[in-house]
DNA sequence: GTCTATACTACGATAGAC
DNA sequence: GTCTATCGTAGTATAGAC
């Protein structure tokens, strides 16, 4: 499947060098095919770029299907169960951000966030949207003191703690005095992340 | 001062399009000068890029001087004072991330985090390093239960909540159902951020 | 479908006038 | 110091063979 091979390579190159910085010649060469096959399969550089966004959205949906399962029938849960599920979801996000696999597509997404194009719209509509509303419905049970229209804000602040592990990876490594985050550092970060999240979710009533 | 003008424009263009995507022609044109003045002042495109990093580091140090002031003599503080200072610092970071000014250089920094070059080293050594150690010394008083070598991790997780306001701005806007973050949304986010941070910092003892 | 060959455009660097 | 002019390279797109 030449299309998938081109997309995988392109996500890496676009993420690393940006849309203009990446070259279709290099992408084709690294995929062991001719540059013109990009035109054939995707219509051109722009088409390949959008195909990358769709591919990432699909992978995200797939990877976070277990998380989404935990947001089902949220309205029937008591507060403790909702908190427990949110802790599990945050930890899954953290594991994703820590995982090697996220390196390539995270670069792509973070880039799009800075200067959103049509590709961001596809990422949001194709994956992020469902996660945000799912987490929002759990937050509504966990923190009934927060007005409905502020749940999205709270979700993003929670999510920020995991996002930083990718979006500011270079600084995180400096802060930990390491050159990369492996099993030991990851476990420590997740431990603090869990206790932070628990502290946040337990608040608002006392 | 043509150098400053070129740097200001370049930070915007490099942040938007990346190192390769930005063109010295456009940067020069937007600065109302000839392309060859980049060669004259900075030796070339790479020199201009590094000058941008140094410029941002200097601006960051300047802007966060008040924060740094709050980290002085941290070892003499009691826990409540340390927490109060950390809340103030986190809020200042949040204001920076929410502020229009951060838009340009934040793009530049986030890009460097994804694929660090020599420019990241300059950003870290020139600005981030001092902030991290400063916050670390306050955290040591606020959360004496956390081992010393894990304070950097906690600082980054805290910082992540503010970082998300810039690094994932597009998603934050979607989550809030707005197209931009102005005074009202900013105040709401900072309110939640403060209570989240307080909950985190108050933890660890009970 | 995948290749080679080529057309056209834009890039960064540099030389040299002023 | 700042400009114009030009060189060599590398980019995307496309036409056409197989």
DSSP B132-173: HHHHHHHHHHH-TTS-GGGHHHHHHHHHHHHHHHHHTHHHHH
**Which residues of chain B neighbour A161 with C-beta distances below 8 Å?**
157, 160-161
Q: Would you place residue A1 in the very low, low, confident or very high pLDDT band (cuts 50, 70, 90)?
A: confident
- pLDDT at res. B141: 98
Nearest nucleotide (CA of A32 to C1'): C2
Residues of chain A above pLDDT 90, percent: 96
Would you say the C-beta of A87 is within 7 Å of strand D? no
Those residues with Cβ within 8 angstroms of residue A153's Cβ, 6 or more apart along the chain or in another chain: B172, B175, B176, B185, B188, B189, B192
Contact A163, B167 (CB under 8 A): yes
pLDDT digits (tens, 9 = 90+) for B10-57: 999 999 999 999 999 999 999 999 999 999 999 999 999 999 999 999
A vs B, Cβ pairs < 8 A, gives 183
* Protein CA B36 to sugar C1' C18 (Å): 15
Query: Please, which positions of strand D sit below 7 A from a protein CB?
Result: 1-5, 10-16
Position A197 in a domain: yes
Asked if the model's pLDDT at residue B167 lies above 90, the reply is yes
Range of the domain at B62: 54-201
pLDDT digits (tens, 9 = 90+) for B101-132: 999 999 999 999 989 999 999 999 999 999 99
| Long-range contact set of residues B59-62: C-beta below 8 Å, sequence gap at least 24 | B59/B105, B60/B105, B60/B123, B60/B126, B60/B127, B60/B128, B61/B126, B61/B127, B61/B130
Position B3 in a domain: no
Asked if the model's pLDDT at residue A132 lies above 80, the reply is yes
Position A8 in a domain: no
**Which residues of chain B neighbour A154 with C-beta distances below 8 Å?**
192
Contact A188 B107 (CB under 8 A): no
* Protein CA A10 to sugar C1' C3 (Å): 20
Q: Would you place residue B1 in the very low, low, confident or very high pLDDT band (cuts 50, 70, 90)?
A: confident
As to burial, measured by CB atoms within 10 angstroms (0-12 exposed, 13-18 middle, 19+ buried), residue A140 is: middle
Query: What CATH number did the domain enclosing A144 receive?
Result: 1.10.357.10
> Rounded to a whole number, what is the distance in Å from the CA of A76 to chain B's nearest CA?
23
pLDDT digits (tens, 9 = 90+) for B60-109: 999 999 999 999 999 999 999 999 999 999 999 999 999 999 999 999 99
Position A132 in a domain: yes
State the CB neighbour count (10 A cutoff) for residue B179.
9
Position B81 in a domain: yes
Position A24 in a domain: no
Position A175 in a domain: yes
> Rounded to a whole number, what is the distance in Å from the CA of A39 to chain B's nearest CA?
21
Position A19 in a domain: no
Count: domains in chain B: 1
């Amino acid at each position: 499947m030449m299309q998938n091979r081109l997309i995988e390579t392109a996500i890496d190159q676009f993420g690393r060098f940006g849309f203009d910085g990446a070259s279709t010649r290099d992408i084709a060469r690294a995929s062991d095919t001719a540059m013109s096959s990009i035109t054939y399969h995707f219509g051109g550089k722009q088409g390949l770029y959008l195909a990358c966004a769709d591919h990432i959205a699909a992978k995200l949906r797939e990877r976070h299907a277990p998380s989404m399962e935990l947001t089902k029938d949220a309205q029937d849960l008591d507060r403790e169960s909702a908190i427990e599920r949110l802790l599990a979801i945050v930890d899954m996000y953290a594991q994703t951000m820590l995982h090697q696999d996220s390196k390539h597509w995270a670069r792509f997404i973070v880039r799009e966030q800075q200067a959103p194009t049509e590709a961001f719209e596809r990422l949001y509509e194709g994956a992020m949207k469902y996660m945000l509303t799912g987490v929002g419905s759990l937050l509504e049970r966990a923190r009934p003191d927060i007005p409905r229209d502020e749940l999205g804000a709270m979700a993003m602040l929670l999510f920020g703690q995991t996002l930083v592990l990718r979006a500011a990876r270079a600084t995180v490594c400096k802060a930990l005095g390491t050159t990369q985050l492996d099993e030991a550092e990851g476990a420590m970060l997740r431990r603090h992340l869990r206790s932070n999240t628990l502290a946040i979710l337990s608040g608002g009533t006392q």
